[in-house]
Amino acid sequence: MRISDLDYDLPEELIAQAPLAKRDASRLLLVDVAADAVEDHIFTELPGLLPPSLFVFNDTRVFPARLLGHKATGGRVELLLLRKAAEGTDRWLAMGRSSKGWRAGMELSLCEARLSARVVRVLDHGQLEVDLRAESDVYAVIEAAGTVPLPPYIRRPADDADRARYQTVYAKKPGAVAAPTAGLHFTEGTLSALEEAGHRTAYVTLHVGPGTFRPVQAPALHQHDMHEEAYEVPKATVAAIGHARKEGRPIVAVGTTVVRTLESSVDAEGDPVSGIGTTRLFIRPPHPFHVVDHLVTNFHLPRSTLLALVMAFAGVDLTRRAYREAAERRYRFYSYGDAMLIRGRTR
């Protein structure tokens, strides 16, 4: 596979800048691998497009990780919190923007002085370690005063509506700085419709990091330095997958993050194993999928690792055709855009 296979043409006006009024009003492009076919649907039709299956969701929760403020000298700064550098402390790993660079010992005032920070270390690739301080609980202040970190291709400031809409209705565990966007289409009604159609549900957690937006820039795919993300596969989910396999139920991953989590957790026999871990797995063609049979996903950026994963699942040629037809049919792309169901080959 060539890196140029990850390129495609997209009119800028097809990049969704805001969500639809209703989550499940999105269009749904059905990509049928076995039939080599592409069909138009709407998202509410999803329960009837698959036989009774096990849908696996990512229950990570996006936290308002973008903190705006200024230095003691008055210069503007921006921090994007990634994760705690040490549990039990208020030391964080962050990505920082500053007009004149960073140095250890620099003091910052953030979120209209509700938070203060001291730069502990300056790391590579624009990353920092910072100690955060507040008069009350630091995380509570972040939740109240931080800003939702919308993706860079959404060219507007985040507003109060994004706090709800850039979040799945089943989000539980805070830790992501980007939403698992395939899940944004689901409503409580959609979840009920899945149950009524005979489908079952299970959950994993993968805290999506900013590296999900980083394009492949290496000369060859295998040379790309994949970002690390933390995940958890509960025992109940492993049991649900085992039970589904015995019943002949397909496994449906809701989002590439679920695929990455399940494929990262498998043992030598290809069975998922419960537990907590981190992954740098880069799924690209050819990849033997061990767990997932079908995939619900959004449309992804050119030269992204997520698009490479989709091509590994659906095939390079069919994926490129589906993206071309989606653009021709004026589908909405990326985080707040429309969805795709990739119906894989039966095992």
Task: Kindly report, residue by residue over 131-166, the tens digit of the pLDDT.
Answer: 999 998 999 999 999 999 999 999 999 999 999 999
Distance, CA of 75 to CA of 297 (rounded, Å): 40
- Averaged pLDDT for residues 275-295: 96
Whether 215 has a pLDDT exceeding 90, the answer reads no
Instruction: Extract the tokens encoding 70.
Output: 């200024």
- Asked if 297 and 326 count as a contact pair (C-beta separation under 8 A), the reply is no
- Asked if 294 and 341 count as a contact pair (C-beta separation under 8 A), the reply is yes
Given this model, what pLDDT does residue 227 score?
85
Higher pLDDT, 224 or 8: 8
Q: At 106, phi and psi to the nearest 5? A: -65, 135
Whether 249 has a pLDDT exceeding 90, the answer reads yes
Given this model, what pLDDT does residue 99 score?
81
Higher pLDDT, 213 or 245: 245
Q: Which of 21-30, 36-45, 87-96, 274-283 has the lowest mean pLDDT?
A: 87-96
Q: At 341, phi and psi to the nearest 5? A: -110, 120
Express each pLDDT in 104-138 by its tens digit: 999 999 999 999 999 999 998 789 999 999 998 99
CA-based angle 330:62:302, to the nearest 5? Answer: 35
Distance, CA of 117 to CA of 135 (rounded, Å): 12
Instruction: For 132-174, give the DSSP string.
Output: EE-SS-HHHHHHHH-B----TTS-S---HHHHHHSS-TT--EE
Residue 347 — very low, low, confident or very high, per pLDDT cuts 50/70/90?
Answer: low
Q: All domains of the chain, ordered by start, with CATH?
A: 3-62+163-343 (3.40.1780.10), 66-145 (2.40.10.240)
Average pLDDT, the chain: 95
Whether 319 has a pLDDT exceeding 90, the answer reads yes
Given this model, what pLDDT does residue 1 score?
78
Instruction: Extract the tokens encoding 207.
Output: 């805290």
- Averaged pLDDT for residues 213-240: 90
Find the radius of gyration of the CA atoms of the chain: 20
What is the share, in percent, of the chain residues with pLDDT greater than 70? 99
- Asked if 55 and 254 count as a contact pair (C-beta separation under 8 A), the reply is yes
Instruction: For 266-333, give the DSSP string.
Output: B-TTS-B--EEEEE-----SS---SS-SEEEEE---TT-HHHHHHHHHH-HHHHHHHHHHHHHTT--B
